[in-house]
């Protein structure tokens, strides 16, 4: 289980997996006896980890890091160690829910604005026959609510906890509480519950396939442009690293 095939991007070990391999790994985690942490870093998160050493060490200690987004896939190619495939958080969650060989699996949905997790749960139950929803909780709570939330998750008998608090809040939350959680897998999933609830639409399939989901997001949420500038900055930085390495060989 610990034999990971990873690609180091900015000193962070991104797992080199196809979607199917990532799903198989989740299945192994489900059979284990401890909580496994999974994050879905995109270019923005990797850039944040460059400035935030706590986030970086959280990512480095994860059990699985999937390459979420065209930027991370491109970076792996530039660095000469291409990952097999893009494995975005939303696709990982959807594929795990439809994994026919898994049997019934219980998910707890934590995060999003009030009502979002419940709306996502309703849609999930209609779409995925093998999924049970163990519980829902919105992502706007005080620190003092945390013990109660953990208790609710643990008594729900959930197998997989989806934590959608945005980055780096969700990564920090999972890290801080990992030893208290009884689930087998905790995944930081960003805006996935909004998508599953039908509140946010994903880019059309042809754009996602072409690695242009960022362009769609820029069009839909132009106010995010400042954060999205991290993507070209990330690519430039990776190019610089590659160039530097080449000239030092």
Residue 139 interacts with ligand UDP (CB under 6 A): yes or no: yes
Half-sphere exposure (CA, 13 Å, Cβ side) for 34?
A: 9
CA–CA separation, 41 and 136 (whole Å): 24
Radius of gyration, alpha carbons of the chain = 18
Closest CB to ligand UDP among residues 63, 68: 68
CA–CA separation, 39 and 183 (whole Å): 15
Which member of 73, 158, 167, 238 binds ligand UDP (CB under 6 A)? 167
**Min dist. Cβ of residue 113 to ligand UDP (A):** 5
Among the candidate windows 7-15, 55-63, 65-73, 109-117, which touches ligand UDP by CB under 6 A? 109-117
Q: Tokens 């930085």 correspond to what residue?
A: 237
Residue 218 interacts with ligand UDP (CB under 6 A): yes or no: no
Residue 69 interacts with ligand UDP (CB under 6 A): yes or no: no
Residue 10, phi-psi category: left (phi > 0), alpha (psi -120 to 50), beta (remainder):
left
Closest CB to ligand UDP among residues 35, 197: 197
CA–CA separation, 128 and 123 (whole Å): 9
**Min dist. Cβ of residue 172 to ligand UDP (A):** 11
Nearest Cα to Cα of residue 9 among 90, 82, 84, 86: 82
**Min dist. Cβ of residue 17 to ligand UDP (A):** 21
Residue 111 interacts with ligand UDP (CB under 6 A): yes or no: yes
CA–CA separation, 163 and 223 (whole Å): 24
Q: For residue 12, how many other CB atoms are within 10 A of its CB?
A: 22
**Min dist. Cβ of residue 9 to ligand UDP (A):** 18
Which member of 63, 194, 213, 230 binds ligand UDP (CB under 6 A)? 194
Q: Tokens 């797992």 correspond to what residue?
A: 15
**Min dist. Cβ of residue 208 to ligand UDP (A):** 16
**Min dist. Cβ of residue 167 to ligand UDP (A):** 4
E strand or H helix at 64: strand 64-65
Which member of 4, 113, 178, 233 binds ligand UDP (CB under 6 A)? 113
What residue ranges bind ligand UDP (CB under 6 A)?
111-113, 139-140, 164-167, 169, 190-191, 193-194
């Amino acid at each position: 289980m610990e034999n990971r095939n990873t690609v180091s991007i900015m000193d962070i070990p991104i797992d080199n997996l196809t979607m199917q391999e990532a799903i198989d790994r989740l299945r192994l985690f489900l059979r284990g006896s401890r909580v496994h942490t999974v994050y879905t870093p995109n270019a923005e998160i990797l850039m944040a980890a460059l400035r935030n050493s706590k986030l970086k060490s959280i990512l480095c200690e994860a059990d699985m890091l999937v390459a979420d987004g065209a930027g991370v896939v491109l970076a792996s190619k530039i660095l000469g160690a291409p990952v097999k495939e893009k494995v975005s958080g939303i696709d990982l969650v959807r594929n795990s829910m439809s994994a026919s060989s898994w049997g019934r699996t219980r998910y707890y949905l934590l995060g999003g604005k009030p009502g979002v997790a419940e709306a996502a749960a309703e849609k999930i139950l209609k779409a995925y026959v093998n999924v049970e929803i163990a519980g829902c909780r919105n992502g706007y709570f005080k620190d003092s609510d945390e013990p109660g939330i953990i208790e609710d998750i643990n008594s729900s008998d959930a197998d997989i906890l989806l934590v959608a608090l945005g980055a780096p809040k969700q990564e920090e939350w999972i890290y801080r509480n990992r030893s208290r959680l009884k689930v087998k897998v905790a995944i930081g999933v960003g805006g996935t519950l909004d998508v599953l609830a039908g509140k946010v639409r994903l880019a059309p399939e042809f754009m996602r396939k072409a690695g242009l989901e960022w362009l769609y997001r820029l069009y839909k949420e132009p106010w995010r442009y400042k954060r999205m500038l991290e993507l070209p900055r990330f690519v430039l930085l990776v190019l610089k690293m590659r160039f530097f390495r080449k000239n030092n060989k």
